[in-house]
Amino acid sequence: MMTGRRVIPLRWPAAVAVGVVGIVGLVAFTWPFFVTADVARDHGNDAPWLFAVLLGLLAVVCLAEVTAGRLDAKTIAVLGVAAAAGGGLRLLSAGTAGLEPMFFVVIVAGRVLGPGVGFVSGALAVTTGALLTGGVGPWLPFQMICAGGIGLGAGLLPVRAGSRVERWALAAYALVTGLVFGLFMNLWFWPFLGTGAPTGMGFVPGAPLQDNLAHYGLFYLATSLGWDLPRGVLNAVLVLVAGPALLRVFRRGARRAAFGVPVVFAPAPGRDAAPHREPAEPHDEPPVVPLHDAEHPR
């Protein structure tokens, strides 16, 4: 594949940023299992809101770090398509209680265009969906991180592009992520329920880890699995059935966008200057204004 696994290269600061945000996200979801009873009692009510604000900020910082100066018009347009496809599917599935076929598009985008694009298009697909349905709320940062992570992971899957294994690996990935997504998203408000949770399924501040885990497991089985399992299965089936065709469409789209195709200016034959080759990702110092990609390495 000549197309850019490097459409948005993940440089080390961006990778660190994604890593740290991932850790904060993990803490935001799993803190009830680790903290002492006092902390949990004091903050059980505020923590979800605190984390919503914090993750909202961090997700945005992370997006800025990943994309800083690396988006040209073509990348933006391709991201726009991925976001629109994800958001549009969200719009379609608004009535079907969380049966989100959106992940399927994010997985394919991440797979074809690399982890950087996977992360950004996941986050943007969720945002677009929320803006389209008017569903902006504190859940948005959590979903952005989750969907971004799913796209990133799809880009990092160690399978060769175009191989037979790819299809099955992606289907399995879709199934697992569908389930894990629900598992995490419920954790966001589970401690918030406190004593409001069903008997034996609630968060008990300060209780041993395995107790709370068991409670949460039961809670998940009782309330959420019924939605998450069909979602995972739907996404996996979609990947199996439409995945190969869609992968080809995305690859073709990336090829036609000519990411990474060299741009060469040569003097007309008969003159003596050497050809002037430009890096594919632009460009030279323009005379008008300093540009944000002006210092790109040659």
Partner 1 sequence: MARLELRPRLQHPAAWWLWGLGLATAASRTTNPVLLLLVVGVCVVVVAERHDPATVNPLPAFLVIGAVIVVFRIVMTALLGNGFVGQTVVVTLPSVPLPDWAASVRIGGTVTLESLLYAAYDALRLAAVLACLGAANALASPRRLLRYLPATLYDVGTAVVVGLTFAPQLLTDARDVRAARTLRGRDGRGVREMARLTVPVLETAFERSLGLAASMESRGYGRSVRSTTTSRRAATGLALAGLVGVLAGLYGLLDSSAGGVLGLPVLVLGALLAGSSLVVGASRDPRSGHRRDRWTWTATTTVLAGAVPAAVLVIASAGGWPGVVPSQQAQLPEVPLLAVLAVLVSATPAWFTPRPREVAP
Partner 2 sequence: MITFEHVSVQYADAPAPSLHDVTLEIPEGELVLVVGPTGSGKSTLLRTINGLVPHFSGGTLTGRVAVDGLDTAEHRPRDLATVVGLVEQNPSSTFVTDVVEDEVAYGMETMGLDSTTIRRRVEETLDLFGLTPLRARSLRTLSGGQQQRVAIAALFAAGPRVLVLDEPTSALDPVAAEEVLASLHRIVHDLGVTVVLAEHRLERVVHHADRVVLVEEGRVSELLDPAEAMLRSHIYPPVVGLSRLVGWSPTPLSIRDARRKASSLREALGASAPRPVADLRVIGPADAVDLTGVRVSRGGRVVLDGVDLTVARGSVTTLMGRNGAGKSTLLGAVAAQHRLSGGRVRVGAAGIDPHGRSARERVRTVGLVPQQPELLLYAESVAAECAAADDDFGAPSGTARALLERISGGVDPSVHPRDLSEGQRLELALAVILAGSPEVLLLDEPTRGLDYGAKKRLGEVLTGLAAQGTTVLLATHDVELAAEVADRVVILADGEIVTDGPAREVLASSPAFAPQVTKVLLPQTWLTVAEVAGALARIA
Site for partner 2 in 59-98 (CB under 8 A): 73-74
Nearer to partner 1, 184 or 203 (CB): 203
* φ, ψ dihedrals at 275, nearest 5°: -60, 150
* Calpha distance 264→259 (Å, rounded): 14
Binding-site partner at residue 127 among partner 2, partner 1, none, CB < 5 to 8 Å by type: partner 1
Closest CA to 197 of 31, 32, 51: 32
List the one residue out of 134, 132, 136, 110 whose CA is nearest residue 56.
136
Which residue stretch of 60-68, 107-115, 165-173, 285-293 sits at the interface with partner 2 (rule: CB under 8 A)?
Answer: 285-293
Q: Which amino acid is at 155?
A: G
Segment near partner 2 (CB under 8 A); pick from 101-109, 124-132, 199-207, 287-295? 287-295
Would you call 11 exposed, middle or buried from its count of C-beta atoms within 10 A (0-12, 13-18, 19+)? middle
- Residues of this chain, 14-33, that bind partner 1 according to CB under 8 A: 16-17, 20-21, 23-24, 27, 31
Residue choice 1, 36, 156, 279 for contact with partner 1 (CB under 8 A): 36
Site for partner 2 in 237-276 (CB under 8 A): 248, 252, 258, 261-270, 276
Counting contacts by CB under 8 A, is residue 283 touching partner 2? yes
Q: What mask, x for binding partner 1 by CB under 8 A, covers residues 75 to 104?
A: -xxxxxxxxxx-xx--xx------------
State in angstroms the smallest separation of the CB of 278 from partner 2.
8
Q: Residue for token digits 């569908």? A: 178
Among 150, 177, 148, which residue's Cα sits nearest to residue 236?
Answer: 177
**Closer by beta carbon to partner 2, 104 or else 259:** 259
Could you say which residues in the range 54-73 bind partner 1, by CB under 8 A? 54, 57-58, 60-61, 63-65, 67-69, 71-73
**Does 171 engage in binding with partner 1 (CB under 8 A)?**
no
- The region, left, alpha or beta by phi > 0 then psi within -120 to 50, assigned to residue 274 is beta
Find where tokens 């914090």 sit.
54
How buried is residue 134: exposed, middle or buried, by Cβ count under 10 Å (0-12/13-18/19+)? exposed
User: Does 127 sit near partner 1 (CB under 8 A)?
Assistant: yes
Token pair listed for 108: 């394919």
Q: How far is the CB of 18 from partner 2 (least distance, A)?
A: 28
